[in-house]
Amino acid sequence: NRGIKALDPQQAFKELSPVIQGRLNHLLKVFLNENKNINLSAHRTEESCWMGNILDSIACLPVMQQLSIINFQFSILDLGTGGGFPLLPLAILFAEHHFTGLDSVRKKMDAVSRIVSSLNLSNVTLVTGRAEETGRDPTHRETYDIVTARAVAETALLLEYCAPFVKKGGHILLWKSMEIDEEISSASGAEAKLFLKRLDPIIYDLGDTWGKRQILVYEKTKATPKEYPRSVGTAKKHLL
């Protein structure tokens, strides 16, 4: 497998400023508290939530740096954000950029909204809606520099959900496990129809029993044709 420079998320964390480290620790506490009442994540202990949600979310740091995110004010959408991953750790890391979290489940978005208030995050907007509908809304279509998604759907379907939101020249980042060559190649039809170019993935290792994972990176080279995304259900039944 090719890949952008491998990242050790534990090391990346150590290199963050003490203020940001403190805010990520605060997120861990507030999130676990919400997760007691609402099913936001299977990671219920501090250790597991820290590795599986927080460090996993910041694994995209090198690709963010490569996209020169440090130099510009970017607009980023996290599609299917659920309990707020990777949305919340990234909003903490990149306070100068604006983040939008999208999910169809209102109860989850209400919980994320309480977490956002508790952390005083002024750079996060939350939208309750389905990707297939919100992606047709002119307020959101072709308006984001980067769209992220973790654990939402298989690649072919996810590309159809994500592409309409991205500006021409913008990028899609998909958090995935390692051995998914078949899933990637069966998304080649979607890549072509949505004018997406697959770049080198970012490969990282969370260590211990967590092991290696990757973030797939796609660049959008042309505007998304009007027929996409297709209606709720159709996209899922008939993959591109």
**The one among 49, 55, 119, 152 contacting ligand SAH by CB under 6 A:** 152
Taking residues 3 to 32 in sequence order and writing x for each that binds ligand SAH by CB under 6 A, - otherwise, the string is ------------------------------
Instruction: Provide the 10 A C-beta neighbour count for residue 231.
Output: 10
**The one among 82, 164, 170, 201 contacting ligand SAH by CB under 6 A:** 82
**The one among 26, 98, 114, 130 contacting ligand SAH by CB under 6 A:** 130
Taking the CA atoms of residue 30, residue 32, residue 34 and residue 35 in that order, the dihedral angle to the nearest 10 degrees is: 160
Taking residues 83 to 112 in sequence order and writing x for each that binds ligand SAH by CB under 6 A, - otherwise, the string is x-x----------------xxxx--x----
Cα distance between the two ends of the chain: 25
Instruction: Provide the 10 A C-beta neighbour count for residue 67.
Output: 19
Residue closer to ligand SAH by CB (options 73, 231) is 231
Which one of 3-11, 16-24, 77-85, 177-185 is the stretch in contact with ligand SAH (CB under 6 A)? 77-85
DSSP summary character for residue 223:
P
Residue closer to ligand SAH by CB (options 2, 238) is 238
Phi and psi torsions of 54, nearest 5°: -80, -55
Locate 130 and state its tokens: 């389905």
8 A C-beta contact, residue 164 and residue 158 = no
**The one among 41, 75, 155, 214 contacting ligand SAH by CB under 6 A:** 41
Which one of 25-33, 117-125, 126-134, 181-189 is the stretch in contact with ligand SAH (CB under 6 A)? 126-134
Choose among 218, 217, 213: nearest CA to 56: 213
CA distances from 92 to 24, 48, 81, 84, 89 (A): 7, 20, 15, 12, 5
Residue closer to ligand SAH by CB (options 107, 169) is 107
**The one among 31, 54, 80, 145 contacting ligand SAH by CB under 6 A:** 80
Where on the chain is the footprint of ligand SAH (CB under 6 A)? Answer: 41, 80-83, 85, 102-105, 108, 130-132, 150-152, 161
